[in-house]
Structure 1
Amino acid sequence: MQRSGSVREVFLAFLRLGLTSFGGPVAHLGYFRDDLVVRRKWMDDRAYADLVALCQFLPGPASSQVGFAMGLQRAGVFGALAAFLAFTLPSAVLLVAFAGGAAVLGGPVAAGVISGLQVVAVAIVAQAVWGMTRTLAPDAPRAGIAVVGLALALLLPGAPGQLGALAVGVLGGLALLRGVVEPSAPALPSFGVPRVVAVTCLVLFVGGLVGLPVLAAATGSGVAALIDAFFRSGALVFGGGHVVLPLLQAGVVETGWVSPEAFLSGYGAAQAVPGPLFTFSAYLGAVSSVGPGGIAGAALALAAIFVPGFLVLTGVLPFWDAVRSKPRVRAAMRGANAAVVGILGAALYAPVFTTAVTGAGSFLLAVVGFVLLTAFRVPAWAVVIVGAVGGVVLGFT
């Protein structure tokens, strides 16, 4: 199929996002929407929300899967790889450096910067929720679905609440939204994945889950065991982000590969860097007593934790391409998109708002960031700088 962008364009766009996207997976979706949907117009809000809903349904790091798919749609397979590498490498390099003792986190300035970046995430997610509400929940039925999704995501934290909200959205869409007409909606972008490639990816996904533990046990190889632990963590988590921590702890701490102290130290460092939290795996691979350790161990762990999510996403994309234009499927997706608004709203409250806003000063900084983004159209990277400086100032007041 004809692609509309270049690999270089994708790489540079995601490199900037990889250097400035703080706040976890929900905030990342806000950054993506602001830069790639609103500013660059790579796809429209409805297509973007469809993609977000799909990635929420699938195992793996949701925000990285969205970025991978947007790179794929924009510039093909190499565009997808460029999006992944550019978005992931900045935080991975920083965490590997931290593992080697090259980074020091501490002191009031560093604490203020981290606090300010958390507040920026509040503004970014609030902007995404505000914009997507107007587009994806513009009428009473969809607003009602969004509220139900919000309630489920708040009352059932983690994957159960998110999947429950999406399921309610699908059912609500089928029941209430089949008559909704969207004449102005542009054609949905195609991802151009051949079905034979998709089936191969799904076979590799299942084969990795089943075969890697057998290979590790049969060979006694530390490398195979390391790959198996991180592949399993990436394959069995929904939504990504902090949800993966229990799986990583079981894989590397309970097995004795990484000490509890080193695990918590690396997790703290992961909060201070931009990009996906899954890059915490690079730190763990570098300090693990099993496997090659160092840069090689980091690379193996990083690849192993991301690959399953990309395999399963690539495996379902052509089938999604084939069915999502059907009226019943479109109605279901309208409901799911409204539920996504509710899920983002729930995440805006917890953990984003409850973690970052600790007093009047941080609340004011969040409001300033929101106004800069929405009223003054200031780029997200500039608001990140404002938030970091504001956090330092608040830390000394």
Structure 2
Amino acid sequence: METNRQEAPKGAGQGRASALLEVLKVSTRLGFTSFGGPIAHLGYFHHEYIRRRKWMDERSYADLVALCQFLPGPASSQVGIGIGVVRAGLLGGLVAWLGFTLPSVIALVAFAFLLQGYDIAGAGWIHGLKIVAVAIVAQAILGMGQKLTPDRGRVTIAAAAAAVALSWHTAYSQVLIIAAAGTAGLWLYRKNAAPGGADLQIGISRTVAVCCLALFSFLLVALPLLRTPGRMDWLAMFDSFYRSGSLVFGGGHVVLPLLEREVVPAGWVSPEDFLAGYGAAQAVPGPLFTFAAYLGAMAGGITGAAVATLGIFLPAFLLIIGALPFWNGIRKSPNIQGALTGINAAVVGILLAALYDPLWTTAILEPMDFALAVILFIMLVFWRLPPWTVVLTGAAGGLLLGLM
């Protein structure tokens, strides 16, 4: 059995329990303070885990970030899981995820109960949160587009992906768009692939990795077959969120169209409540995927929140554990790098489609809505204000628009 090995982390003599408590303490503090989205999260991780505590060297951290950008799912959460594994084994990965995720889960579940308890879904400030979502996603498209679509070929892939996503609404459209973009990237960009960097060293056996990948694949295929069509139960909810977490490339914002097509047409969450929750998710720290906890709470209370959260994050855990021992060989393949180039371009197009539908069509209803969206966008992109201040401004602006 082949195993990739890593030297024992600094301070491992304290014992596994002490290492787990240390991981929990640091990750929980990050969970309460990590505002700003995935890129900002990676900066916080680098400061706390790499510079201050030396749990991983710079090269290994860069390789881990590259792996998590390659995999579907929430990249920042997967990086945190990987660092937890390096520090305290597989259980350390779980503890690192819990600490980073639970603060925003609790905040969004509380927001869901506030909406349900006071029936304020039609309030002006809720409309303001929808406009905040427009500005946030527009900012994400701008940043991702500059990085992932810098040439004519990738812009074309992005535009085609947006057109197909807007005109073809099925459960599998995004999967097929990503597959087609990967094929196009393989054809266009494999000769331009850069050589891989240094090997990432981590102590996970390939047997464990294969078991995780097999479980990931089994659940992805079996859950849609086991659920009862047209019925809302816990298995159906788990399947919907598990598939959404399994098929998202490009970070948290791209999960928006997948989740919207799962929960809104089925009647689990109204379009208004969906977008209000998405706007509120920008105001809390931690991963944007915790938006699933809000949706689960709206559909099924505390149990629904737990099922949705587990469903959307389980693929991330299985994939990062399953991919780590094989990453050294995979990332050096020109074919893989070329396909990933095309997939990343398609992600920009999918997000562009989501900016129009459902965000723009449900939030920008009057000229003053557009004016508020522009102001919020300027605050984010040019003034570089923290997202929570933009959220509060949007809510206040929506309240004022409602009084006009």
1:201 counterpart = 2:218: no
1:313 counterpart = 2:325: no
> How many residues are treated as equivalent by the alignment?
344
In structure 2, relative to structure 1, the CA distance for the partners of 1:340 and 1:300 (3 Å cut) is closer
Moved more, 380-389 or 156-165: 156-165
TM-score by length of 1: 0.69
Give the superposition deviation at 1:196. Answer: 3.1
Tell me the secondary structure at the aligned position of residue 109 of structure 2. Answer: helix
Contact (CA 8 Å) 1:153, 1:162: kept in 2 or not? yes
Letter of the 2:192 counterpart = V
Tell me the secondary structure at the aligned position of residue 169 of structure 2. Answer: coil
Give the superposition deviation at 1:84. Answer: 2.9
Give the superposition deviation at 1:392. Answer: 0.8
Give the superposition deviation at 1:15. Answer: 3.9
Give the superposition deviation at 1:375. Answer: 1.2
Decide which of 277, 280, 289 is 2:295's aligned counterpart: 280
**Partner of residue 361, structure 1:** 368
Give the superposition deviation at 1:366. Answer: 1.0
Decide which of 178, 188, 195 is 1:176's aligned counterpart: 188
Give the superposition deviation at 1:122. Answer: 1.1
Contact (CA 8 Å) 2:186, 2:339: kept in 1 or not? yes
1:232 counterpart = 2:244: no
Contact (CA 8 Å) 2:241, 2:308: kept in 1 or not? no
Aligned alpha-carbon RMSD (Å): 4.4
Decide which of 94, 114, 127 is 1:115's aligned counterpart: 127
Contact (CA 8 Å) 1:6, 1:74: kept in 2 or not? no
Query: How many percent of aligned residue pairs carry the same amino acid?
Result: 29
Give the superposition deviation at 1:136. Answer: 1.1
**Partner of residue 219, structure 1:** none
Distance in structure 1 (CA, Å) of the matches to 2:374 and 2:80: 32
1:160 counterpart = 2:165: no
Pairs within 5 Å for 1:1-397: 7-15=24-32, 32-33=37-38, 35-36=40-41, 51=68, 54-55=71-72, 62=73, 65-76=74-85, 77=93, 78-95=95-112, 103-106=117-120, 111-157=123-169, 159-180=171-192, 194-205=205-216, 228-237=235-244, 238-239=247-248, 243=258, 268=273, 271-272=276-277, 273-274=280-281, 275-286=290-301, 297-298=303-304, 301-302=307-308, 305-306=311-312, 308-310=314-316, 312-314=318-320, 316-318=322-324, 319=326, 322-397=329-404
Unaligned runs of at least 5 residues, structure 1? 21-30, 56-61, 217-224, 254-259, 287-294
In structure 2, relative to structure 1, the CA distance for the partners of 1:212 and 1:124 (3 Å cut) is closer
Distance in structure 2 (CA, Å) of the matches to 1:169 and 1:230: 29
In structure 2, relative to structure 1, the CA distance for the partners of 1:302 and 1:338 (3 Å cut) is closer
Give the superposition deviation at 1:389. Answer: 0.9
Letter of the 2:28 counterpart = F
Deviations 1:81-129 (A, max 9, x none): 3233233222124435766xxx31328xx61111111111111111111
Distance in structure 2 (CA, Å) of the matches to 1:66 and 1:194: 22
Distance in structure 2 (CA, Å) of the matches to 1:328 and 1:269: 38
Give the superposition deviation at 1:187. Answer: 7.0
In structure 2, relative to structure 1, the CA distance for the partners of 1:366 and 1:191 (3 Å cut) is farther
Distance in structure 1 (CA, Å) of the matches to 2:199 and 2:369: 40
